[in-house]
Amino acid sequence: MTIKIALTKGRVEEQVLPLLEASGIDCSGVRNKGRRLIFNEDPNFQIILVKGPDVLTYLNNSSVHIGIVGSDILAEQNNPQYAMLDMGVGKCRFVLASTRDFNPQQVRRKIIATKYPSITKRYFQSIGEDVEIIKIEGSVELAPLIGLADAIVDITETGTTLKENDLHVYAELQPVSTKLVVNRLAVKQYRPEIKTFISNLQEAQKTLGV
Amino acid sequence: MKNRNLPSGTRDEFGVRAEMKENITAKLFDLFKQRGFSKLTTPILEYADVFKPLNLTNYRPYQLLDEQGEALVLRPDLTLPVARVMSTTGVELPAKWYYSGDVFRVKKQLSGSYNQLTQAGIELVGYASLKGEWECLKIALEGVRAAGIDDWTLELSDARFVNDVLAALPIPEPTKNALKQALFAKDLSRYKQLCKPLADTAFEPFLNEWPWLFGDFDKVIQVVDTLPEITALVPVITNLKQTAGFIRTQTPEQAVFLDLSIPSPQSYYTGMAFQGYTQNSSDYLFSGGRYDELLTSFQQVKEPAVGLAFDTDALVDRMPEPASTEQSLIYFEADQWQLAETTLNKTPNSTFCLADSLEEAKRIAISTNRKLIDLTEGR
């Protein structure tokens, strides 16, 4: 029985591979991937490499059984599947940031630029504020500097990019980390395999100290 | 101009798939009728308020306004309209209804999901006995068999189980709610953290297994047996055991699973719930259960109700395709109509070729891969 895993390529992939290897999965193909996107080196697991937001598309269509993806994407896309395990890697946080002269208490309808409109909307709803949201695809830090928005909601790991652009953190939103997500029906269909996989991963987390 | 495109989330159905869907729908109707259910057809358009009790998780309804500005929807569900009929028409109880039709659920755009789904199901209103659940299960077993699907799993659950166990745990109410959320989301990391205060209590062995409390019926019951006695659970477990026994007597080879870690499909469920799936399906073949609260959003008085809906599209997805049979094309002159009619009746899988010339008939026979029966031969 082959379990199909959609793994977010890039940074998540780099951080998760040691855990998958320590849990006993042959990831040699992913390590030396060249231009390949599908990896069958381990007879029990098929790994595919996809972009973060596509992990849920594959999972929701039952094309894969398991996804490994950041909780930022899960929150933004209202994930309906089971986020069963925190992988303990890829930890960062959502922040509200802006230039030094930004006043969060100012009475006006603020303009917020972000790659994550749903998370931004939920945050401002939770503090009882209504804001204008502008969706930006990248380099969100530019928006308050160029005058497109009053502030931004973005992910930061160390805060370096914010500091380099002279942006200040005004509020901490939710923390972010990489999650193991399982399709709701697959967990029933492949219960023994998925249970063993998760407990192997938990052991691997202890061994590697994550 | 959009006259050559379909709106996102819709599809045409034709050929083999359309025929398979028609066949299984007809077989289900035969089954419902043979067991004495009456047909109930409700409109596709309803007031949005009818569906207020629905917990819309991954979709929203198609919505429009009537002349007075009231919100109308294309029905996203077929059970609530039955409840509306029951509580507004003075139908004598108990009643047994069957229905079939399409429901409309707008899902995420460009995600490969379809927004128009076909269901066929039954509602039993006015029977409080466990026999109601069993009648639904019997129909589920027969319906899936009629579709020619073997090797599938029947899964039982119960809307009361999780709340009854939580009520017995010696932890504050907010922690119970958080624990329930973590359990339902199968968020193992958070669940483990919330269970810490219960380590070394009599509940610990059960709590360690709870998020994984699904699978083979007897194995799940073994875990339930590790719980300290909870009086409220006794009838729940007894019903489940009797039901598993019933299914095994009816169809001994049927795999019976139990899941005691999930929320009920909708908030109005009050007792046992059941679903069916195959090892490869991406949707449940059917889903149903007891919902004695169903009528309370339309009237003050509760009425016992239990029902079952087949996902006709999911059944068709898993049905074996019919073996291809030889098809024939009958060519004849207009004055041979009666002879052609006789030939049509005695030749299975045949159809008239209405072409004007034998040459044209031969061409059609080749292009559609049919055997040509030429009644003009020798004329």
In this predicted structure, what is the pLDDT of residue B294? 87
Measure CB to CB from residue B186 to each of A82, A185, A189 and give the nearest one: A82
- For the cut 90, the answer to whether the pLDDT of residue B325 exceeds it is no
- Please work out, in degrees rounded to the nearest 5, the angle formed at the alpha carbon of residue B187 by the alpha carbons of B186 and B189: 135
For A123, the token pair is 């945050």
Q: Is A106 buried (19+), middle (13-18) or exposed (0-12) by CB count in 10 A?
A: exposed
A contacts of B186 (beta carbons < 8 Å):
82-84, 182, 187
Measure CB to CB from residue B214 to each of A61, A85, A191 and give the nearest one: A191
Detail the DSSP E strand segments found in chain B.
Answer: 38-39, 45-47, 63-65, 71-74, 95-104, 116-125, 152-158, 214-216, 255-259, 272-278, 286-290, 305-311, 328-331, 350-353, 371-374
Asked if residue B106 and residue B27 are part of one domain, the reply reads yes
Q: Which residues pair with B276 in a beta bridge?
A: B154, B286
List residues of A whose CB lies inside 8 A of any B CB.
Answer: 57, 60-62, 78, 80, 82-86, 182, 185, 187-189, 191, 195, 198
Last residue of a domain, one of B259, B275, B296: B259
Interface test with B, best of A2, A56, A60 (most B CBs within 10 A): A60
Measure CB to CB from residue B58 to each of A61, A80, A189 and give the nearest one: A80
Interface test with B, best of A59, A185, A198 (most B CBs within 10 A): A185
A contacts of B220 (beta carbons < 8 Å):
none
Asked if residue B189 and residue B55 are part of one domain, the reply reads no
Q: Where are the domains of chain A?
A: 3-90+177-208, 92-175
List residues of B whose CB lies inside 8 A of any A CB.
Answer: 57-58, 108, 111-113, 153, 155, 185-189, 212, 214-215, 257, 259, 277, 279-284
In this predicted structure, what is the pLDDT of residue B243? 98
CB contact under 8 A, B257 and A188: yes
User: Which SS3 state, helix, strand or coil, does residue A182 take?
Assistant: strand
Measure CB to CB from residue A84 to each of B155, B187, B282 and give the nearest one: B187
Domain range for B246: 160-259
The CA distance from A163 to A178, in Å, is 24
The reply to whether B379 falls in a domain is: no
Q: What mean pLDDT is predicted for residues A28-53?
A: 95
Looking at 3.30.470.10, 1.10.569.10, 3.40.190.10, 3.40.50.10190, the CATH number of the domain A92-175 comes to 3.40.190.10
Half-sphere exposure of B114 (CA within 13 A, CB side): 13
For A30, the token pair is 């992913």
Asked if residue B38 and residue B171 are part of one domain, the reply reads no
DSSP code at position B60: B
Cis peptide before A80 (omega within 30 of 0): no
pLDDT in tens, A92-123: 999 999 999 999 888 889 999 999 999 999 99
B contacts of A198 (beta carbons < 8 Å):
188
Residue A98: which of A30, A12, A165, A17 has the closest Cα? A165
For B89, the token pair is 């028409």
> How many structural domains is chain B composed of?
3
Measure CB to CB from residue B212 to each of A57, A61, A195 and give the nearest one: A195
Half-sphere exposure of A192 (CA within 13 A, CB side): 5
The reply to whether B210 falls in a domain is: yes
CB contact under 8 A, A60 and B113: yes
Asked if residue B37 and residue B169 are part of one domain, the reply reads no
Asked if residue B81 and residue B198 are part of one domain, the reply reads no
Residue B186: which of B165, B205, B155, B162 has the closest Cα? B162
Asked if residue B233 and residue B252 are part of one domain, the reply reads yes
DSSP code at position A64: -
CA distance to partner chain B, nearest, from residue A146 (Å): 33
B contacts of A182 (beta carbons < 8 Å):
186
CB contact under 8 A, A82 and B185: yes
Asked if residue B131 and residue B91 are part of one domain, the reply reads yes
- For the cut 80, the answer to whether the pLDDT of residue B334 exceeds it is yes
Residue B366: which of B339, B315, B329, B325 has the closest Cα? B329
B contacts of A85 (beta carbons < 8 Å):
188-189
pLDDT in tens, B158-177: 999 999 999 999 999 999 99
Measure CB to CB from residue A84 to each of B112, B188, B282 and give the nearest one: B188
CB pairs under 8 A between A and B: 48
Cβ count near B298 (within 10 Å): 17
pLDDT in tens, A158-198: 889 999 999 999 999 999 999 999 999 999 999 999 999 99
In this predicted structure, what is the pLDDT of residue B378? 86
User: Which SS3 state, helix, strand or coil, does residue A8 take?
Assistant: strand
Sheet with A132-135, strands from edge to edge, namely: A132-135, A111-114, A151-156, A92-98, A168-176
Q: Please, what's the largest Cα pairwise distance for chain B?
A: 95
Percent of chain B residues topping a pLDDT of 90: 85
The reply to whether B72 falls in a domain is: yes
The CA distance from B347 to B342, in Å, is 9
Asked if residue B293 and residue B209 are part of one domain, the reply reads no
For A58, the token pair is 């594959």
CB contact under 8 A, A84 and B153: no
The reply to whether B226 falls in a domain is: yes
- For the cut 80, the answer to whether the pLDDT of residue B57 exceeds it is no
Tell me the binding residues of B for L-histidine.
77-79, 105, 119, 123, 268-269
- For the cut 90, the answer to whether the pLDDT of residue A155 exceeds it is yes
In this predicted structure, what is the pLDDT of residue B108? 85
In this predicted structure, what is the pLDDT of residue A1? 80
The reply to whether B122 falls in a domain is: yes
CATH number of the domain residue B24 falls in: 3.30.930.10
Looking at 3.40.190.10, 3.40.50.1980, 3.40.50.720, 3.40.50.300, the CATH number of the domain A3-90+177-208 comes to 3.40.190.10
- For the cut 90, the answer to whether the pLDDT of residue B291 exceeds it is yes
Cβ count near A89 (within 10 Å): 19
pLDDT in tens, B13-22: 999 999 999 9
* B5: CB partners within 8 A, 6+ apart: none
Q: Which residues pair with B289 in a beta bridge?
A: B273, B307
Measure CB to CB from residue A85 to each of B188, B277, B279 and give the nearest one: B188
The reply to whether B155 falls in a domain is: no
Chain Cα centroid distance, residue B185 = 23
CA distance to partner chain A, nearest, from residue B285 (Å): 12
Phi then psi for residue A45, to 5 deg, are -135, 135
Residue B57: closest CA among chain A residues belongs to which residue?
A80
Residue B282: closest CA among chain A residues belongs to which residue?
A62
In this predicted structure, what is the pLDDT of residue B299? 85
Half-sphere exposure of B226 (CA within 13 A, CB side): 15
Last residue of a domain, one of B323, B341, B364: B323
Asked if residue B180 and residue B38 are part of one domain, the reply reads no
Q: What mean pLDDT is predicted for residues B327-350?
A: 95
> What does each C-alpha distance from B106 to A56, B63, B119 come to in angstroms?
17, 10, 16
DSSP code at position B270: -
The CA distance from B151 to B148, in Å, is 10
The reply to whether B248 falls in a domain is: yes
- Of A146-155, B53-62, B67-76, B342-351, the poorest mean pLDDT is in B53-62
B contacts of A210 (beta carbons < 8 Å):
none
Phi then psi for residue A108, to 5 deg, are -170, 165
CB contact under 8 A, B259 and A188: yes
- For the cut 90, the answer to whether the pLDDT of residue B234 exceeds it is yes
CB contact under 8 A, B188 and A198: yes
